[in-house]
Amino acid sequence: MKLFIAGTDTEIGKTYISTGILQAFNQRGLSTLGCKPIATGCVWQQNQLRNEDAVALQRAASIKLPYHRINPFAFEPPIAPHIAANQNQQLLSVQTLNEKMDYALNYPADVCLIEGVGGWYVPLNERETMADFVIAQQLKVILVIGIRLGCINHSLLTFRAMQHDGVEVIGWVANCIHPDMDYCYENISTLQNWLPIPCLGKVGYKQFPEYEDEIFNQIKANAA
């Protein structure tokens, strides 16, 4: 099972949900692998650039591949990946991603989670986006929606873009990223009405463990 974790935007909890999903599968005896092909805002650790989200995925997975295998493109400035790549005279493309991620994506694991960077159409270069990598790899997608003001519009636009691109979206997760957002569950109810895909779970603020069984069962049912 290879699942791409997409988000409606940056800072909406993709890593939080991804690590929770990995741990849920771990606890049921399945082998897991977590990857983040591209990351910006990295820091120097152990003589290499590392990203805290990629490190969290590496720690949460039962299979511990070397860091460069799960995050081959790591950039220091917290900016758009294609700009960071240009500054470092590196080429970001679907081809280079396929090459660098080939080892991890073909490593034997029951579940492989690949976390995106930013939103669905984050550019890799002047012609390609992260979505093109997902399409090329024929990955199934889980959409993480950070429940905040504006999330309904962002979610509908993102899902319609995914539909247009022909990817299989197995469902979405509502991640309540603000502890005191007004009308949080009214927003979730609206999304349930408008999105024609299963809601895999509604995660309260920093409360993933309480929803672990629900999300696990929903993923198993819809990703088969």
CA 132 to chain centre: 15
Pairing label, strands 32-35, 111-115: parallel
Residue/partner pairs of 201-208 with CB below 8 Å, 24 or more apart: 201/173, 201/174, 202/173, 202/174, 202/176, 203/13, 203/17, 203/20, 203/173, 203/174, 203/175, 203/176, 204/176, 205/176, 205/177, 205/178, 205/179, 206/16, 206/179, 207/176, 208/16, 208/17, 208/20
* 36 tagged catalytic: yes
Which of these is catalytic: 36, 64, 202, 206? 36
Distance of CA 218 to the CA centre of its chain: 17
Catalytic positions, please?
36
